[in-house]
Amino acid sequence: MQKGFIHIYTGDGKGKTTAAVGITVRAVGNGLKVLFIQFIKAPPTGEIEILKKFPEMIDIYIDIYRCSTSFIYGKPDKNQKGTIKSCIAEIKEKILKNKYDLIVRDEFCNAINLGLISKKETEKVSKILKEYTERYDLKPELIYSSYLKRAFSTAEIIGKNLSLAEE
């Protein structure tokens, strides 16, 4: 498998998840298999709903995994933490069982910053993701750094290099 890069989109407002969907569509257009994981957000979300309008894409190329706790105000409760813990176990299994070319973890850093995902779990998932990249530079230390704590909204994309220069 050709290894690629990590894209992290941060900032307030709209566009991060939309950018992730755009790269997903581009990957599918190039015949790549995508795991699109969406943390926190409760369905429906417009970005995922538009993908569902193309069932042939979903059936063959895109595996959408929702890990919804709904939005969290203040600290997460026990049920929300339990939901995420179950999701992480299922996500690890999916990644190990399937050969994805691209993995999108929408709102992953938010889940960490809210205390839904522990540093230990982050490290476990990071070890698995090293297979997908030349360097997995998004180390837990960076995730827990003040930079990404300020960048509360994120979309992270892991996988093959999909730059225009390759076409």
Q: Would the pLDDT of 116 be above 70? A: yes
Q: Summarize the confidence of residues 140-164 as an average pLDDT.
A: 46
Give residue 151's pLDDT band: very low, low, confident or very high (50, 70, 90).
very low
Give residue 107's pLDDT band: very low, low, confident or very high (50, 70, 90).
confident
CB 36 within 8 A of CB 167: no
Classify residue 128 by burial, with Cβ atoms within 10 Å: 0-12, 13-18, 19+.
middle
- The rounded mean pLDDT for the chain is 75
Q: Residue 101: which of 39, 158, 23 has the closest Cα?
A: 158
CATH topology of domain 5-166: Rossmann fold (3.40.50)
**Does the pTM of the predicted model rise above 0.85?**
no
Task: Please tell me the predicted confidence (pLDDT) of residue 86.
Answer: 92
Q: Summarize the confidence of residues 36-43 as an average pLDDT.
A: 85
Task: Please tell me the predicted confidence (pLDDT) of residue 155.
Answer: 53
Q: Summarize the confidence of residues 42-62 as an average pLDDT.
A: 85
Q: Residue 6: which of 108, 137, 124 has the closest Cα?
A: 137
Task: Please tell me the predicted confidence (pLDDT) of residue 90.
Answer: 92
